[in-house]
Each structure stands twice: as structure tokens, then as C-alpha cells.
Chain A
Amino acid sequence: MKPDIEQLLEKYYEGETTLQEEKLLRQFFQEGSIPAHLQSHADQFRYFANARNQHPSFAFTSKLAAKLTASEPNRFAGFTTWVRRLAASVSLIILGFAGGLVYNHWRSDSAGGITSSAETPSAIAMKQVLQFEHLPKTSASERIQAVNQSYELEQIDQDITQLLINTLNFDANVNVRLAACQALTHFANEPGVREALIQSLKIQTDPNLQISLIDALVTMKEKRAVDEMQRLVQNQQVLDAVRQKAEEGINHLVQGRGSPS
């Protein structure tokens, strides 16, 4: 046995022993009769063997077990937590949609509310049709109708005149623009309308519109339009009929100015 142990010890310090051999060594040094020359190895192996018997205290283990069990119901619902999370996300999405719907509803409701207090429903309808963004979606006749609706309005506000001015200047269809021009002559007393009509003389290229603008401005006796009309007269590219009309208009306006003075 002894030579065996010495050999094993040698292997042991080289890190070459197997687990089995190391067990043998520990067992050997656990026993009572250890030769004197091997005695110095004993402490080490005894220490290893004893160290293995160290365990956490019972108090600790029971405390830990209690902690784990306490967290269990929580976790016992591990599966349900998962389902709950899923449910929560789904309900959040639903809530989002519902919120959107309610908001939209509220918006249209409140828009309706303003209508009843300040504007007639026809004004709203008209505004909606004439909105520039809606241009591609509406037909010319719809827009003409919308413009004509403005005659029926009892109250006119800046929004509507501005809308009509925009229509006059930028609508793709000549007939709609003409309708807007006519509508605006009705509202000549609204702020900004006369100026807009004068401005429009610069913008419009269609002879029909140019003529009706001149007509409108002459009937309004709007003398500030003279300069613009002068320019039309001098512009070679403008149709002769228009230039004549403009000249007539200038005469009218200037005479009108001259006669009272």
C-alpha cells in the first residue's frame, strides 16, 4: 500500500491523478495509521475531505425555500403572466383604435357644434368642397355648386371670401373660376375682396375671366384697378377684345373720377 501511496502522491502533485486515485488518497489519510514520513500530507487531504461536509445552515435553507415559495404564486402564474401580457398588448391596441374613433367623432361633433353656432351647414359643405386639397376629388360642377351656395349664406367670413379668392385664382376649371368671380362681386364690400379682384387681373390669362373681372371692377367703380387695366391694354399678348374692354373700363373709371371733381 505504502509505495502505492507515494507514487500516487507524486502523480497528484503533477496534476496527473484520476478522480478515483484522489479519492483513494483522501481515504488513506482519513485512516488512523499513517506512516511518519507521509504525515505531512495528511492535513491537506483531511481538510479536503472535511471541507466537503460544509453546508449552508438549516436556517438559511428554510428561509430560502420560503422565499422561493413566496415568489411562486407570482410565477405559478408564469403561464398566465404570459397570457396577461398578450391580453394587455391586445387591449392597448384596441384602446388605441377606440381612442382614434372617439377622437374623430369628437372632432366632427365639435366641428358640427361650431357650425350651429357660427356657420350654417351649407357653409361647411361649401368649404369642404372648395378646400384646395380636395380639388382632385371633386368635379367642376360640384365646385360651381359650392360657389353658388355662397349666395345663400347670411353671414360671410374671411374664411369663405379667402376660399372664393383661392378658387378664383387657382381652380383648374375656367367655369369654376368664373363662378367664383361672380360670387366675389356679390361680396365686394367684404374686406380684401376688391383688392383680390384687382390682384386677380394680373393672374388671370383667360379672356373670359379678364373681361368679367374688368366688368366687375367697373361696376364697383374701383379706381385702384386702373393701373392694372392700363397694363392689360399695353400688353400685346392679351386678346384685342380684352384690351378694348380694359380701355373702356379705364375710360369709365377715369370719367367717373373726373365728373365729380
Chain B
Amino acid sequence: MPVVFAIDMDLQAFKQRILPVQGRLFRLAQLFLRNREEAEDALQDVLLRLWTNRQQLEAYTSIEALAVQMTKNLCLDRLKAHARRKYTDESTLLGIQAEDASPYRQVEVADSADLMRTLIDDLPDQQKLILHLRDVEEYSFEEIEQVTGVSINNIRVILSRARQRLRQNYLKVNDYEAGH
């Protein structure tokens, strides 16, 4: 049991190890939750959980990978809960919108960053995650493998699909704009 004493992290060590990652975790949360406040809330949840369990953290080869995984899972859980809760009112809302404008059309007004965000948001969760980890967070394939548990070859495939799909959708919207 003396090991417990040795790995017991104090606040200083915790901050040094976890807080540099918080920007990363925040962006990931934002990727899934699309909302700043909700992302911050999720991030806080993850960090406090890590803090309460800091004695066990040493058992993980990469605390960052663990934190990223926790954030991803937490966000997906919250999305599921939201979907269940908001399903009815949101579907009616979308139904009305779909009648007078295509989803992309609304985006036209906003700037290109908003467009990209919307397009990325439309990707399947796994493509979204891997694309984000690679192109925004600049993760190596090994790091992505650690976080997602997907093999490197599959990561390449998924990444390639995500990039191509993003591009196609982007061109579609732009063609649509050009057509007008």
C-alpha cells in the first residue's frame, strides 16, 4: 500500500499535468456540444473527476489520452441525453426550417468559419473526432490510436474519408452559392 502515498498527486502536480491539456479538452467538448457554455461545463466535469481520482491516474500510460477519452465519452453521453430530452421540440423546429430553406442555406449568411463548423458537425462522430484530433490538435496516429482504440490503418482510412467528405460538402455549398 505505500505506493498510494508515492503517487498521491498534490494540487500543484495536478495543475502542471492536467491544466495544459484543458484547452484541448475544451475544444473537443466544443466540437461535440457546439456550445461554449456546455463545453466549459463538460470540461469542468472532466477535470473535477480527474482530480477526485488522481490517485489512480498514475496507472494510465497517458493521462492526456485518458482525459480526452473521458471528455469524448462525457460529451457523447450528454448529447444522447439531450437528444432524448429535446427530440420532440427540436424535430418540429427543424421540420419548419427545412420547409423554407436547406440547412446549408442558413449558413450562407454566416462567415466561412461557421460554415466549416457546421460541415464538420455533420460528419459522423468518429470521423469528426479523428479529423479534429489530427487537423486541429495535431495528434500523431499513435496518439489517436491511444485515444480512440482504432488501429492506425483504420485511422488513415477514416481520416481520408472525413477530409474528402468535408471537401465535397464544402464544394456543394459553394456550388449552390455560385448557382445563385
Contact residues of A with B, CB < 8 Å? 12-16, 19, 22-23, 40-41, 43-44, 46-48, 50-52, 54-57, 60-61, 63-65, 67-69, 71-72, 75-76, 78-79, 82
Which stretch from B59-67, B85-93, B94-102, B109-117 is at the chain A interface? B109-117
Instruction: Please tell me which one of the listed residues A14, A40, A60, A67 contacts residue B174 in the complex, with CB atoms under 8 A apart.
Output: A40
- If over half of A's interface residues share one DSSP class (helix, strand or loop), that class is named, otherwise mixed; here it is helix
Inter-subunit contact A51/B112 (CB<8 Å) = no
Closest 8 CB pairs of A and B: A15-B160, A47-B116, A15-B156, A15-B159, A43-B112, A56-B26, A48-B135, A60-B40
Q: Which B residues touch A55, using CB under 8 A?
A: 23, 26
Complex-state Cα separation, A72 to B131, whole angstroms: 37
Contact of A19 among B115, B140, B159, B170 (CB under 8 A): B140
Which residues of A have CB within 8 Å of B156? 15-16
User: Contact at B138–A22, with CB atoms within 8 Å?
Assistant: yes
- With A40-B170, A56-B43, A68-B14 in contact, do A47 and B112 touch (Cβ < 8 Å)? yes
Given contacts A15-B163, A16-B160, A19-B138, 14 further A-B contacts (CB under 8 A): A13-B160, A15-B156, A22-B138, A41-B167, A43-B112, A43-B115, A47-B113, A48-B135, A67-B44, A68-B11, A69-B11, A72-B11, A75-B11, A78-B8
CB atoms of B136 and A52 under 8 A apart: yes
A23-B155 Cα distance, complex, nearest whole Å = 19
The minimal Cβ–Cβ distance linking A46 to chain B, given in whole angstroms, is 7
Residues in B with CB closer than 8 Å to A72 are 10-11
Are B117 and A47 in touch, CB under 8 angstroms? yes
Residues of the A chain whose Cβ atoms lie less than 8 Å from the Cβ of B170: 40, 43-44
